[in-house]
Amino acid sequence: MSLVAALRGLDTTQRHTVLASFLGWTLDAFDFFLLVFVLDEIATEFHVGHTEVTLGILLTLAARPIGALLFGRLADRYGRKPVLMVDVLMFSVLELACAFAPSLTALLVLRFFFGIAMGGEWGIGASLAMETVPAKARGAVSGLLQSGYPCGYFLGALAYWLVFSVFGLGWRAMFVVGALPALLVLYLRAKVPESPAWQAAREQGPHRGAVAAMRGNGKRLLYMMLLMAAFNMFSHGSQDMYPTFLKSQMHFDAGTVAVLTMVLNAGAIVGGLTFGSWSERVGRRRAMVVAALLALPCIPLWTFGGSVVLLGIGAFLIQVMVQGAWGVVPTYLNELAPHDVRATLPGFAYQLGNLLAAGTASIQAWLAAERGGDYALVMAAWMAAVALALAFLAWRGPEVRGVSFEPGRS
């Protein structure tokens, strides 16, 4: 089912829910990537190297499993909508606080707590959307939801260009802009109802605890965690240090960096929408495997293209594949999860994978420093290895396309 056909088949309430979930992940990613664009400026102000500042990325990613477990369990017990509202408000306030950090240590502490709040959003938003739309629309909506991530990165690039090139402000102004997602709470409050699947489960009887709900599913949790580790190494390995590569190795100005990053994220949006919808026809596993393997021939152009035009083409194409694979993830993980822990398990597995991949940016920065600042070679080798690992893990996993979300039938 195409995205257009899927959206046409939704009623007004379902469309509001999908839009809210999409915006939640978009704004969450927007807040996360603001740090990526100002690594240079923060390092200069606090008189440290890139590697020290990338600890902020590592700490954010490492804290996300805490948020996924905490907010996910609250959402499974008290409902998706109210917990999502609290979560969005929290990560917006913490982002604003980063603008006033007096030292690198204070900034790193704030990024850790921001990671806890950020960790809760994806699992709750994805479960709310997947439980609301018809089964036949899950693939297309999954691609749309995951496209919120590159949309957030795109908005971050736009904010970077406006703050630095247009208004001539500093890195702290970026985090002030990062408070805007708090406005999403008003939309959630006014337009989005509670998940019908969660309401049906509550009416059928007492809520089971996470241990009882997961009994017999330990191997599935382990598989999901390893798969998401590969996925996060795939995306963060191609995105987090990309602006630094463009500035430090290619010596591009802020405007060029912003434009190339926007091109990169345009490719990501195309990929997520395309492969998410395609997974309804060919299956979740096959769509992920094909996208991962097609990333391999894109790598040389992405890092060694030389000119702005060729690098832009490479960035567009590789992100079609990276986020193409990612476009299947929201529906795939939700279809793997028992209904009692659907707000907890997908997000927790996702963020545990993030934890395993949390050192991606720091490792790439360290390896590049060891090679005299050669980010191109480090990023190319990283992506080739991870693409193969991801394709293997996806192919070895279960296929659960279209499983029922009704309590007792999962």
The pLDDT assigned to 286 comes to: 94
Check if the beta carbon of residue 340 is closer than 8 Å to that of residue 249: no
CA atoms within 13 A on the CB side of 337: 29
Residue 403 belongs to some domain of the structure = no
Q: For the segment 294-321, what is each residue's pLDDT rounded down to a tens digit?
A: 999 999 999 998 889 999 999 999 999 9
Check if the beta carbon of residue 292 is closer than 8 Å to that of residue 387: yes
Phi, psi of 371 (to 5 degrees): -105, 25
The pLDDT assigned to 404 comes to: 66
Average pLDDT over residues 3-16: 85
The pLDDT assigned to 223 comes to: 93
Backbone torsion region of residue 401, taken as left when φ is above 0, otherwise alpha when ψ lies between -120 and 50, otherwise beta: beta
From CA 163, how far away is CA 41, in angstroms rounded?
13
Residue 402 belongs to some domain of the structure = no
Has residue 230 got a pLDDT over 90?
Answer: yes
Average pLDDT over residues 150-162: 85
Prediction pTM value: 0.78
Q: Is the dihedral of CA 120, 122, 125, 130 positive or negative?
A: negative
Task: Report the run of H or E that residue 330 belongs to, with start and end.
Answer: helix 329-336
298 contact partners, CB below 8 Å, separation of at least 6? 314, 317, 318, 320, 321
Q: Is the dihedral of CA 12, 18, 19, 24 positive or negative?
A: positive
Residue 406 belongs to some domain of the structure = no
The pLDDT assigned to 216 comes to: 65
Average pLDDT over residues 82-98: 91
The pLDDT assigned to 215 comes to: 65
Structure tokens given for 238: 């191609």
The pLDDT assigned to 213 comes to: 59
Residue 409 belongs to some domain of the structure = no
**Residue owning tokens 């309401």:** 199
Residue 44 belongs to some domain of the structure = yes
Of 353, 177, 318, 172, nearest in space to 242 by CA: 318
Check if the beta carbon of residue 91 is closer than 8 Å to that of residue 122: no
Lowest mean pLDDT among 172-181, 228-237, 337-346, 365-374: 337-346
Has residue 205 got a pLDDT over 70?
Answer: no
From CA 379, how far away is CA 303, in angstroms rounded?
8
The pLDDT assigned to 206 comes to: 60
The pLDDT assigned to 407 comes to: 55
- Position with higher pLDDT, 203 vs 83: 83
The total of other beta-carbon atoms located within 10 Å of residue 189's CB is 11
The pLDDT assigned to 410 comes to: 45
Average pLDDT over residues 347-365: 86
The pLDDT assigned to 265 comes to: 83
- Which amino acid, residue 1? M
pLDDT category of residue 378 using cuts at 50, 70 and 90? very high
CA atoms within 13 A on the CB side of 24: 35
382 contact partners, CB below 8 Å, separation of at least 6? 233, 237, 360, 364
Residue 264 belongs to some domain of the structure = yes
From CA 221, how far away is CA 226, in angstroms rounded?
9
Residue 41 belongs to some domain of the structure = yes
The pLDDT assigned to 143 comes to: 87
The pLDDT assigned to 211 comes to: 65
Which ranges constitute the DSSP H helices of 79-103?
80-98
From CA 130, how far away is CA 139, in angstroms rounded?
9
From CA 373, how far away is CA 371, in angstroms rounded?
6
Q: For the segment 264-292, what is each residue's pLDDT rounded down to a tens digit?
A: 888 988 998 899 888 988 999 999 999 99
Has residue 109 got a pLDDT over 80?
Answer: yes
From CA 242, how far away is CA 261, in angstroms rounded?
8
User: Number of structural domains, the chain?
Assistant: 1
Residue 319's CATH number? 1.20.1250.20
Domain hosting 377: range is 10-394
Residue 293 belongs to some domain of the structure = yes
pLDDT category of residue 220 using cuts at 50, 70 and 90? confident
